[in-house]
Amino acid sequence: MKHITLAATNFRPVDGPRSDNLAGIKPIHRILAPFPVAYFAAALATDLAYWRTAEVMWERFSVWLIAGGLVMSALVALAAVIDLAFGKQRPAWVRALGYTVAVLLSLLNVFVHSRDGYTAVVPTGLMLSAIVVAILLVYSVTAGWTLTYRRGARP
């Protein structure tokens, strides 16, 4: 919320009138960023269910959820690029790196989950799901769903 408040107060007069308008735009990727987190967190839940029950249905939920999370991650990346190009944003490297690592681990995870049978989840898949969710929780709590700063804003 802090970023929006800053933008609304228009506290950088040096940017000129056109920039003022653009500076008021919310980063688009911020709207999308929670989706992969929700998918991957749900996959952790279904992984845990599979680990406890060995019921095939949970493993199938997991692999679709991870695949869905990856599709959403691609949209987040696309939106972040648009924000950087047109939205007067600059990258928040550390947050973006954390988010990217989580997505790459999920990419590994979707392959692990595509194995046949129990070892699609236990232990490697379950572990990867847990690591991904841990990283993304840290990210979401500390970064408020953004991967960028408004250009010129103090971090």
Partner 1 sequence: MNPRKINRTKLPRFAALFAVGVASLGLAGCDDTGGDPRVQIGANPMLPAIQQYLLPPIRIARPVPWGNDTPKVSQELQIHALAKGFEHPRSLYVLPNGDVLVIESNGPKAPVFRPKDLITGVVQGLAGAKAKDANRITLLRDSKGDGVPELRTVFLDHLNSPFGVALIGHYLYVANTDAIVRYPYEDGQTSITDKGTKLTDLPGGPIDHHWTKALLASPDGSKLYVGVGSNSNVAENGMEAERERAAIWEVDVATGAHRVYASGVRNPTGMQWQPETGKLWAIANERDEIGPDLVPDYLTSVQDGGFYGWPYSYYGQHLDPRVMPQRPDLVSKAIKPDYALSSHVAPLGLAMYTGSALPAQYRGGAFVGEHGSWDRTPLNGYKVVFVPFSGGTPSGPAEDVVTGFLDHNSHARGRPVGLAVDRTGALLIADDVGNTVWRVSSAAASSTSRQGS
**Whole-number Å distance between alpha carbons of 57 and 40:** 17
Q: What are phi and psi of 90, to 5 degrees?
A: -130, 155
Nearer to partner 1, 32 or 121 (CB): 121
**Whole-number Å distance between alpha carbons of 46 and 65:** 9
Nearer to partner 1, 18 or 52 (CB): 52
Which range of residues in 14-22, 29-37, 61-69, 77-85 is near partner 1 by CB under 8 A? 61-69
- Per DSSP, 87 falls in state S
Please count the residues of this chain forming the interface with partner 1, following the rule CB under 8 A. Answer: 39
Q: How many other CB atoms are found less than 10 A from the CB of residue 45?
A: 15
Binding site for partner 1 (CB under 8 A): 2, 54-56, 59-60, 63-64, 67, 92, 94-95, 97-98, 101, 105, 108, 110-112, 114-120, 122-124, 127-128, 131, 134-135, 138, 142-143, 155
